[in-house]
Amino acid sequence: MAPRVVCLPGDCIGPEVMAVAQRVLGVLAPDVSLEDRLFGAEAIRRTGDSLPPDTLQACRMADAVLKAPIGHPEFDAADVRPEQGMLRLRAELDVYANLRPAREGAIDLVIVRELVGGLYFGARGVRDDGTVFDTCEYHPSQVERLARRGFELARARGRRLTSVDKANVLETSRLWRRVVHEVADDYPDVDVDDMLVDNAAMQLASAPERFDVVVTENMFGDILSDEAAVLGGSLGMLASATIGGKVDLYEPVHGSAPDIAGKGIANPLGAIASAAMLLRHTGKLEADANIVDAAISHVLEAGHRTPDLYSGKTKKYNTTWEVGGAVEQQFSDSAMRRYAFHAV
Ligand code: NAD
pLDDT along the chain (344 residues), means of 10: 93 98 93 96 96 97 96 94 89 90 91 92 94 96 97 96 98 98 98 98 96 97 89 85 92 94 97 96 92 92 89 76 93 55 36
Per-residue H/E/C for the chain? CCCEEEEECCCCCHHHHHHHHHHHHHHHCCCCEEEECCCCHHHHHHHCCCCCHHHHHHHHHCCEEEECCCCCHHHCCCCCCHHHHHHHHHHHHCCCEEEEEEEECCEEEEEEEECCCHHHCCCEEECCCCCEEECCCCCHHHHHHHHHHHHHHHHCCCCEEEEEECCCCCHHHHHHHHHHHHHHCCCCCCEEEEEEHHHHHHHHHHCHHHCCEEEECHHHHHHHHHHHHHHHCCHHHCEEEEECCCCEEEEECCCCCHHHCCCCCCCCHHHHHHHHHHHHHCCCCHHHHHHHHHHHHHHHHCCCCCHHHCCCCCCCCCCHHHHHHHHHHHHHHHHHHHHHHHHC
- CA–centroid distance, residue 237 to ligand 1 (Å): 12
Residue 175 confidence (pLDDT): 98
Q: Which residues contact 141 (CB under 8 A, 6 or more apart)?
A: none
Please identify, by atom number, the ligand 1 atom nearest to the C-alpha of residue 260: 11
Whether residue 69 has its Cβ less than 6 Å from ligand 1: yes
Overall pTM surpassing 0.75 (yes/no) = yes
pLDDT the model gives residue 340: 41
Say yes or no: CB of residue 256 within 6 Å of ligand 1. Answer: yes
| pLDDT (0 to 100) of residue 343 | 35
Distance 261 CA to ligand 1 centre (A): 10
Q: Is the CB of 9 under 6 A from ligand 1?
A: no
Which residues are known to be catalytic? 120, 166, 198, 222, 226
The residue nearest atom 4 of ligand 1, judged by CA position, is 257
16 lines ligand 1 (CB under 6 A): no
